[in-house]
Structure 1
Amino acid sequence: MDHLLLEHLKGALAKSNVIAYVWDIGGDELHWLGDMESFAGHSGEQIRQNSNQFNLLLNPHDTPQRISDVQNYIDTARGKLDAGESVDEFSSKFKIRSGSGINIDVTETASLKHDDASGRLLLCGRLEKSVSQAAPEVVMPKEEANIARMAAGGGGHIHSGRRVMLSKLSDWQDQARRDSAHRTGYLLTVGIDRMAMFNEVVGASKADEILERTGERLEQIAGRAAEVIRVDGDVFGVLFAEGAHNEMAAVGQYILNNFSNMPLMIERGPVGISVSVGGIALSVRSSKDPASYLAMAERALQLAKDKGGNSFESYDESNSLMGESRLLLKSAETFMDAMKDNRLKLAFQPIMSGINQEVSFHESLIRLEDEKGRVLPAAEFIPAIERMGLSRLVDQFALQEAIQELMMFPELCLSVNVSNLTLANQDWLRSLVYALRDRPSVAKRLIIEITESAVVHDIKKTMRIISTLQDLGCQVALDDFGAGYTAFSQLKNLNIDIVKIDKSFVRNIADDHNHLFVKTLRTLAEGVNVKTVGEGAETLAEAQILIDDGIDYIQGYVYGFPRTERVWLPENHMHRKIMSSTAQSTLRDSGLTSSDMFGDHDVFRTKMN
């Protein structure tokens, strides 16, 4: 009789698009009732074991919110049960990855119960599938449909390596010149968004599997129409040897939609990812070499990632290439003239405490004053300076000026950015050691900001540099955390003092996904005893969310723009305005020589004399 009743209940649930569960919270055991095979395409063995197994089936974007909602409900309901009060039901909506990889909209309803017989707390709930649930459909333009039809024969071995791609591009140019002067094609670069996060969450072996499946998916999409090559890390090149330039954007968008709507299937189950795509048109009439083509495609990919990911960008030569060389030379010339004329300045932006909303320290930022007295932001000249190999001069100037300010104002704390080029230079580090070894009171108020890319380039060397800086008394901050390739596990090994959460997560933090991501980053940083800075807060609402989430420091226009004056002094203070001077003249005016601070290792002094 019990068996027949159980089968009857299962059948009734299946017809209603519902499955039920009982979760033993203390023992973390899940028991299911209903036809899970027809509900989501998963066998009972796959999802009945415990909450962690079940969470693996959720859409990754929904998992943190669902876990948080359930835990908050349990905490509240437990208190009511203990007080003998009635307990309301809990409700949540999220997506489950089906066995076929499709997202299923699910509504969960549950209530907390106390089992008097066992003394255990049980969460008794049900999942109801949307009746109108259907597989997402990717609408393909004509060009994309052509690509999809050609995909039937794909699936070969994926070559890897930058040299392989350069060789393929060279072969394309040679063949195109022999065949036709009008032959066209295009190169796409495809990168997995936030791959470092996947590497941390699922582990290195599973991350490798994600990369393999991504390559296979790209081969399936491209088929015989293109060749897929893993260029570097999580970046794939897709070379369309024959293709109209006007179809490139459509194919790029199709790739985005394909990954967004259909998760990758790895050994542990479905994994949802998004990708970014960059593109460059190939033409036999162009004089560009293979390396230039690949660099342009990668630059377009970076532009797509800078937009937040899941985006396509093509390299626009009319806006980028034609004027690029002239712009570089002009920017470099402007920069050198500014140094000679004492028009290079430091600007200071306050960074506030999340606890009391008072200034904790200031970031020192480079600004350039043009001949008309207009202050130029860094974005107008720093990228060109870096590409021209002049960033060491900038960093040396900023460091000298910052140290001088710290010596003049004993309560001041400043952070200074250091480029990868400078960080790799032993002269810079020796200069800093010489300047600070007898000034511990200055060193302890200096924060050196390094970039994620410096860590990736040579993590062991970076660790040694960080250790040296901290031995001096300095703190070290990792800038733009979350935007690049630093894994969470590396934070502890690096022994970083501060991580600055990239502004792309802070902007529009009211969006649930961005908000959850910031909270996750903060929790992980706290776990390795690292302080957090939320960069780019532009509104009071954004700042308040960061404060509520426990972010240690907040930086952004909401608290102040970078200004080329001593913003820590009162407005009418006689020394608030910084006179136009280089670090050299400032040192001379104070009675100190450059050698007093930097000895024979003064790279800046050598360059300026």
Structure 2
Amino acid sequence: MSLAFSSPISIVKLGALGGQLSESPSRSPAHDPARPGEERDLAQGTPVESLARVISAEELERVRKAVLAVGEAAYHWVIESDEIFWSANAPEILHCAAGRLTTGRAYAALLDTDNFTTRYDAVMRSVYKDEGEGIPYQIEYLFRPGGKDGKTAYWLEDTGRWYAGADGRPAEAFGIVRRIDDRHSRDQQLNFLGNCDPLTGMMNRGRMAEALEEAIIAADREGVSRAFVIAGINNLAVVNDAYGFEVADEVIIAVGRRLKNVVRAGDPIARYSGSKFAIILNNCNEEELRHAAERFLEVARESVIETEHGPVWAMLSIGAIILPGHAADANTAMARTEEALTEAKRVPSDGFIIYKPSQRLISERSINARSAHEIVACLKEDRFKMAFQPIVDATSLEVVMHEALLRMADEHGDMIAAAHLIPIAEKLGLVRLIDRTVAQLTVSTLLAYPKANLTFNVSGITATDPRWFGQLTEILKTHREVTPRLTVEITETVALGDLDETVRFTGALRDLGCRVAIDDFGAGYTSFRNLKALNVDILKLDGSFCAHLTENPENQYFVRSLIDMARKFELKTIAEWVETPEDAAFLRQWGADYLQGNLFGKASLDIPWSAEAAAAPEKPASQEEPATFAAKGKAQADGDDEEPDISRLRLAIDALNAQFRKGRG
């Protein structure tokens, strides 16, 4: 609680609240004119006489106790004489003898020399002009009751109002001081947490961003280059896994301490993120930057870091940028330095890269931006479609299944392959949306065409995404009749990336009645043990080995070995990219079960089961899914006259849309 002074008479009241009523010099009529509506007798006589006429002793005692309760001491500072008149409780509040508080000069001698401001500064150096109501002030400072060299210190909040004399300069000030040690400690802690990293004590990323912005502005103004550096601990994740987070924290602290020891005085250093430190190098050109980077790399090379669990090596990589030439603001500088650090991490050890504009990267980003827009637009506008490529029995050459392949309609309505979008979609985090669309369209097709037998490919990111898999399994549980006709493909490299998760994934699909295929088999390093653990049904041989077999004896030997291995595990094989009868003859002779390639048919948007589907009996209305039945009724009511096969597929898609929305919710 603080008490504000709103009028001269109330100031005088509080000036004596600490104990006995003791007078301070009354304010002169020159700067205390009677205000409209104010009784003249309140301005006549001494302050104590005026006070006695407006407040009873009982009321005064209550207010006095309130002031004591909140630990505040009131004062009146007469600037011309430098006298300070205090409430009687001031020595108790300030833990200081009354004789040391009698003048402004004596009081100033009790303030810490490192204070940013003082009462004298707040009053005598104020830039404001008193128009009659006084000028308020509130400051905080460290008070040492034993003098500037005393060990005891308290934080005080000084709140008051100064009034001008006839010459317009400060003539007197009235105020209250109170102890705020606890609050100041909390404020300091919050300020520390807001600006510093609690583990290392260095400034944090937010404060570094502010310092970097200031450095760029200064560099531009002064015409002197600066550098911004990010140093990353490459092997911190390995330390985490091997020893735990406590040891990793020890490594972070040790590396931070070593870097701080070799940074020049005045160059800010911060903990930028979990395993990264950021440094601003003032007055630094490219040559000096290279020397500095070598110093920073040396702190990791010089010796191991001793931890509670034994010695640990730290390995650093560094990305840097010269300012202001390559970045006009802090966000750009940080982003480009991160790019340089990413490049540096590709170097086997002690990587150091200075950012330089790259036309390749600029072009890639432009392509990424266009592709992201294209993907989102296709999803919103329902422009993704499925094409079907036949897979034939190697012996009879009869079509036994089709692979569902994604196609997209461009802005002109022309259909193009969407394979080029998948790597970009994975990089931009959009591939799950595409995979969901592929799964949805594939299952919809199986629902619409009972003779269809399909395979479709799942990207590496989506294959281990529990949310996507939950949506798919929810659909398949609802439509168990389609699972025997569905094969889910995952690439060999993805399967080996997280073997335990892949085993769970394949097991759950097989439990639902689906088949699972390893796509691009032969491109990875699947061992006999891993192949057995994966428990899949089909191996799709990597097409790059199956194409042009007659011209490549090494590939002939390799493909034949893969087929022999699959046969030993009782797995079916599909050979991809079969383009010539001669290649097909080789594969058939070696024992491949199925063949796929342009020799037997290119991927087509035409629905290969149209005639069969049209002849297939309809389900009774009571057996249809509610969403399908409702959609069909709406189509009939609207007079929809689409072809039977297209209409059937649309109804199935509507049903799947409802199921996916339910799974997402």
Q: Give the shorter-chain TM-score range.
A: 0.3 to 0.5
Larger Rg: 2
- Structure-1-length-normalised TM-score: 0.47
Structure with larger RCO (C-alpha < 8 A, sep 6+): 1
